[in-house]
Amino acid sequence: MVNKTTYIHPIGILIAGLSMSFYEEADFTHAEAKLLECVRMGEHCVLGETKPDVSTPENTIRACVLLNVLLNKDLFEGKLEIRGAYIDGAVILDGVTKLRPLHLTHCFISERLSFGDAETRSIALENVTVASLCGNSARIDGDLFIRRCNIAESLELFGAEITGTLSCTGTRLGLNRDDTSVNLITASIGGKLEFNGGFSANGTIFIDDSIIEGIFDCSRAFLSASKSKHVNPSAPWEVPVRALSAYRARISGTLNLRETVAHGELSFTGAEIGGDVDCRGGTFETPSEIDPITLRFTRIKVGGNVYIGRGLRSSGKVEFNGASISGNVNCAGGQFSVPYDPKPNIQKLLGNVTRDALSFVNARIGGCLFLAPASEEANVASSESSYDTPAVIYGSLDLKGANIRIIADSRAAWPKPTNRKNLHNVIYLDGLEYERFAGKDITAKDRIRWLKYQPTAHLGRDFRPQPFEQLMTVLRNMGHRLEAGRVGIARERYFFKRALSQWREAPHSIPLVAILYLIKGFFIDHGYRPRKVVGRMLLVAIICAFYYNHAEKQGVFAPSDSQVLLDETLHSCRVISPEGNITQVKALVSDQKTARRWTACLEEKLPEHPRFDPMIYSLKILLPFLDVFKEKSWVPMWKEVEITVPTFGKIVLPASTTQIVVLFETVFGGLASVFAIAALTGLIRTD
Question: Residues 286-296: what's their mean pLDDT?
Answer: 83
Task: Give me the chain's average pLDDT, please.
Answer: 80
Domain boundary among 420, 441, 462: 441
Residues 6+ apart with CB under 8 A from 417: 425
In a domain, 254, yes or no: no
In a domain, 411, yes or no: yes
Phi, psi (rounded to 5 degrees) for 494: -75, -30
142 vs 147: CA distance, rounded Å? 16
Quote the pLDDT of residue 520: 66
Least confident of 42-51, 188-197, 445-454, 631-640: 631-640
How large is the C-alpha radius of gyration of the chain? 44
DSSP state of 113: E
One-character DSSP codes across 312-338: -EEESEEE-TT-EESS-EE-TT-EEE-
401, 294: one domain:
yes
pLDDT > 70? residue 511: no
Range with top average pLDDT, 61-70, 368-377, 395-404: 395-404
The three-state DSSP-derived secondary structure of 360-416 is CCCCEEEEEEECCCCCHHHCCCCCCHHHCCCCEEECEEECCCCEEEEEECCHHHCCC
Domain boundary among 426, 441, 456: 441
> Residue type at 32?
E
pLDDT > 90? residue 504: no
In a domain, 536, yes or no: yes
432, 537: one domain:
no
Quote the pLDDT of residue 587: 37
Whole-structure pTM value:
0.77
Element (H, E) at 244: strand 242-245
435, 318: one domain:
yes
pLDDT > 70? residue 366: yes
174 vs 155: CA distance, rounded Å? 9
In a domain, 139, yes or no: no
Please tell me the chain's helix, strand, coil percentages from 3-state DSSP, rounded to the nearest 5: 30, 25, 45
Quote the pLDDT of residue 249: 96
541, 659: one domain:
yes
Q: What angle is formed at CA 557 by the lines to CA 551 and CA 559, rounded to 5 degrees?
A: 165
Nearest residue to 543 via CA among 621, 634, 610: 621
| 45-46 and 595-596 strand pairing | unpaired
In a domain, 294, yes or no: yes
In a domain, 29, yes or no: no
Burial 52-71 (b: 16+ CB within 10 A, else e): beebeeebbbbbbbbbbbbe
In a domain, 356, yes or no: yes
184 vs 209: CA distance, rounded Å? 9
Per-residue confidence at 455, pLDDT binned at 50, 70, 90? confident
> Residue type at 538?
L
Element (H, E) at 448: helix 444-451
Nearest residue to 595 via CA among 566, 615, 570, 572: 572
429, 572: one domain:
no
**How many domains are contained in the chain?**
2
425 vs 455: CA distance, rounded Å? 9
537 vs 675: CA distance, rounded Å? 12
Quote the pLDDT of residue 443: 80
> Which is more confidently placed, 465 or 604?
465
Element (H, E) at 472: helix 466-477
432, 283: one domain:
yes
Q: What angle is formed at CA 515 by the lines to CA 511 and CA 517, rounded to 5 degrees?
A: 115
533 vs 418: CA distance, rounded Å? 44
DSSP state of 594: S
pLDDT > 80? residue 512: no
338 vs 291: CA distance, rounded Å? 10
Residues paired with residue 113 on neighbouring β-strands, in sequence order: 91, 133
Residue 43 CA from chain centroid, whole number: 60
Quote the pLDDT of residue 561: 75
pLDDT tens across 315-350, in order? Answer: 999 999 999 999 999 999 999 998 655 555 555 555
Per the structure, the complete domain to which residue 599 belongs is given by 532-672
pLDDT tens across 556-599, in order? Answer: 888 877 777 777 667 667 644 334 343 443 333 333 333 457 77
Residue 370 CA from chain centroid, whole number: 9
Give helix 481-501 / helix 444-451 axis angle, nearest 10°: 30
pLDDT > 90? residue 252: yes
The count of residues in the chain is 687
Determine the straight-line distance between the first and last CA of the chain, rounded to whole angstroms. Answer: 88
418, 537: one domain:
no
pLDDT > 50? residue 9: no
436 vs 477: CA distance, rounded Å? 8
Domain boundary among 441, 470, 505: 441
Per-residue confidence at 127, pLDDT binned at 50, 70, 90? very high
pLDDT > 60? residue 132: yes
DSSP state of 41: H
> Residue type at 515?
I
417, 541: one domain:
no
In a domain, 48, yes or no: no
321, 437: one domain:
yes
427, 545: one domain:
no
Answer whether 367's CB lies under 8 Å from 327's CB.
yes
> Residue type at 378?
A
356 vs 417: CA distance, rounded Å? 13
Residues paired with residue 180 on neighbouring β-strands, in sequence order: 204
Quote the pLDDT of residue 140: 94
Least confident of 21-25, 186-190, 449-453: 21-25
Q: In the chain, what percentage of residues exceed pLDDT 90?
A: 40
pLDDT > 80? residue 364: yes
| CB-based burial label for 578 (10 Å; 0-12, 13-18, 19+) | exposed
457 vs 537: CA distance, rounded Å? 38
312, 429: one domain:
yes
Per-residue confidence at 167, pLDDT binned at 50, 70, 90? very high
Answer whether 642's CB lies under 8 Å from 577's CB.
no
Quick check: helix, strand or coil at residue 80?
Answer: strand
263 vs 340: CA distance, rounded Å? 14
